[in-house]
Structure 1
C-alpha cells in the first residue's frame, strides 16, 4: 500500500504529457487569427483541341490555293498538315501546312498553349495574361494588358519561333534604315521619314517589323494604296486580348515574303496563327490585306471552337 501514491503520481504525469502532445498536434503552434490563403481559381480549359483537325477543310482550301488541284494523295497530305513536335500535349500543341502554287507559296501554322500557374496566389488566367503580354511586347506593340505578379518568370518567354522572328525583324529594320527610313527607338520605322513604301517590288526598302510603316499589297505585280493597308495593331472583339503583327521581309534579290501573325488569349489558353506568302516572281508582292483578313478569320474560328 505504500507504493500506491507513487503509482498515482506517475499516472498523473503520463496523462499530463499526453495532454500536452495532443495540444501541439491540434495546432498549438499556429498563431491565432492568422489569415487563410484562398487559392486562385483554375483556368477554364483543362485540355487542348487536336490542332491538325482544328481548321475546317473549306478554310484550308481557301488558305492554301493550289492544294485542291493536286492529285488525291498529295492533296490529302497537304490538308492533313504536320503536327508540331511537343513533349506535353496537355500544355502545348500545334500544326503546320504548306502549299505550292504556280504563282506563290502559302504556309500556315497554328499553336495552342494552355497556361497553368503553379503559384496558388496567381490564377491561370493571370499567368496566361502575362504570357500573352510578353508576346505582344515582342511584336513591338505597346502592351494593353498589365503583366501579373509572376511576369519575370521564364516560362512566359516567347517561343523559339518568336525569338527567331524578332532577330530577323531587327535585321530587316536595319536594312530599311539604310535604305532611307529612320528607325525609331523601339525598332520600328518612322513612316514620316521614309520616301517610299516599304513593300515596293523594286526592293528599295523593307523596314518595320511592327507594320507601322507604309506597306504595299496586291498581286499580279501591282500595288495597293499604302493607306489601305492596316499596320500591326491590337485587335478588338477577339478572345480576352489579341493583336496582329504584319511583317514583310526581303533577302537580297529574292521575292518578298510576308508573314501575318494573329495572337489571342482566351482564359488560360494563348493561340497563335501565322499565315505567310512568298510570290514566285520578284516583281510580285504579297497582298497584305488578304493575308490579314484570312488570318483574322481563322483566329476567330479557332476562338469559337474553344468556346464550344
Structure 2
C-alpha cells in the first residue's frame, strides 16, 4: 500500500509547483512592476537626441601664429624665445577638457597692450527629455540676456535666442533658478554645466581674471560706439550669436575697450574676447578694428567646428 500512496502524492506536488511558477512569472512581462500600464500608454521613454559635438579641440592651438601676430602686434618686438611663449598661450584650468576648454594670450607693446581670450563650452543635458542643443540654447540665452544688448533703433528689444516655443524646461535653466545639476549636485545659478564660471575660466597667467563679456572692470564710458558698431545680434555666425563692445577706464589708467563675440553651434558655445589698452591715457581704442578682428577669429573658429 505504501507505493500507491507515494505515486498519488507526486502528481499533486507537481501541479502545485507548476501553479506557483506560473503565478510568479505572470507579472514578469513588465519588469515586475506592481501595476500594469494603462491601455494605450507608452512604457518606453524616448531619450532626446545627443548633441553634435562629443569632444573639444585643444584651445591654444586653435589660433594660428599668423593670426596671433595680427591680434598681438606688441609681441613682434620681443626676442624669439619670448615670442614663442606669448604665442603659445596659457591654457585655462577646467574640470573636464571634454566639457570646457579655454586659452588666453597677452602682449604689451609700446603703443598698446592686447589681450585675447577664447572659451569653448560643450553643453550636455542631464534631462532625457531635453536635448543637448536645447540645453545649449538656454545657456546661450542667459549669456545674451546678461549682455543687456541695447534696443535696435526703430525696433523691439533683442530677445534671447534661448529655448524655442514648446521645448520643455531643463534643470538649471533660467526658469528653474534653484535647481541643482544632477551630475555634480552643484547649484546652476552661476555655473552652467561644468561647475566653472565662464567669466573666469580662461586666465591670463596673472592674478587678475579674464574680462567678462558683460563688461570689463571699471565704469563704462558714456560715449557709445559709432552707429552700426553698437552691441548687437549677429547673423551668419553659428546658430545664434551676439557682439558686445564696452569702453571703460580703471582708475587713472588709459581707457580699454573689450569686444566680445559669443556664438552657439549646436551644443557648443564659443566666446572670443579681445581687449586693447593704449599706452597713452588720451588714446581711445578703435571700435571697428577690434570688432573686425574679433569677428574674424570667431568666424574661423566656427568654420573649424564644422569641419
**TM-score computed with the length of structure 2 as normaliser:** 0.78
Match of 2:200 in 1: 161
Match of 2:130 in 1: 122
SS in 2 for 1:109: strand
Match of 1:51 in 2: 59
Q: Is the 8 A contact 2:99 2:121 kept in 1?
A: yes
Q: Following the alignment from structure 1 to structure 2, what is the Cα–Cα distance between the partners of residues 59 and 65?
A: 10
**Does 2:82 match 1:74?**
yes
**Does 2:307 match 1:304?**
no
SS in 2 for 1:12: helix
Match of 2:276 in 1: 277
How far the C-alpha of 1:164 sits from its partner, in A, is 7.3
Q: Following the alignment from structure 2 to structure 1, what is the Cα–Cα distance between the partners of residues 10 and 252?
A: 103
How far the C-alpha of 1:285 sits from its partner, in A, is 0.5
Q: Is the 8 A contact 1:106 1:278 kept in 2?
A: yes
Q: Is the 8 A contact 1:125 1:268 kept in 2?
A: yes
Q: Is the 8 A contact 2:213 2:273 kept in 1?
A: no
How far the C-alpha of 1:70 sits from its partner, in A, is 1.5
**Does 2:127 match 1:91?**
no
**Does 2:22 match 1:14?**
no
Match of 1:34 in 2: 41
Q: Following the alignment from structure 1 to structure 2, what is the Cα–Cα distance between the partners of residues 131 and 249?
A: 27
**Does 2:237 match 1:172?**
no
SS in 2 for 1:2: helix
Match of 1:218 in 2: none
Q: Following the alignment from structure 2 to structure 1, what is the Cα–Cα distance between the partners of residues 142 and 214?
A: 16
How far the C-alpha of 1:68 sits from its partner, in A, is 2.1
Q: Is the 8 A contact 2:199 2:213 kept in 1?
A: no
Q: CA RMSD in A?
A: 2.3
Match of 1:179 in 2: none
Q: Following the alignment from structure 1 to structure 2, what is the Cα–Cα distance between the partners of residues 167 and 120?
A: 32
How far the C-alpha of 1:160 sits from its partner, in A, is 3.9
Match of 1:110 in 2: 118
Match of 1:214 in 2: 224
Q: Is the 8 A contact 2:246 2:259 kept in 1?
A: yes
Q: Following the alignment from structure 1 to structure 2, what is the Cα–Cα distance between the partners of residues 255 and 13?
A: 93
The gaps in structure 2 that reach 5 residues or longer are: 150-157, 180-187, 202-209
How far the C-alpha of 1:6 sits from its partner, in A, is 3.1
Q: How many residues align?
A: 260
Going by fraction, where is helix more abundant, 1 or 2?
1
Change (3 A) 1:279 1:83: same
C-alpha distance after superposition, 1:164-221 (max 9, x if no partner): 7488669726xxxxxxxxxxxxxxxxxxxxxxxxxxxxxxxx13xxxxx623xxxxxx
* Map 1:220-235 → 2, pairs under 5 A: 226-227=226-227, 230-235=229-234
How far the C-alpha of 1:5 sits from its partner, in A, is 3.3
Question: After the TM superposition, which segments of 4 or more aligned residues of structure 1 sit over 4 Å from their partners?
Answer: 166-171
Match of 1:132 in 2: 140
Q: Following the alignment from structure 1 to structure 2, what is the Cα–Cα distance between the partners of residues 79 and 63?
A: 10
**TM-score computed with the length of structure 1 as normaliser:** 0.78
Q: Following the alignment from structure 2 to structure 1, what is the Cα–Cα distance between the partners of residues 89 and 162?
A: 36
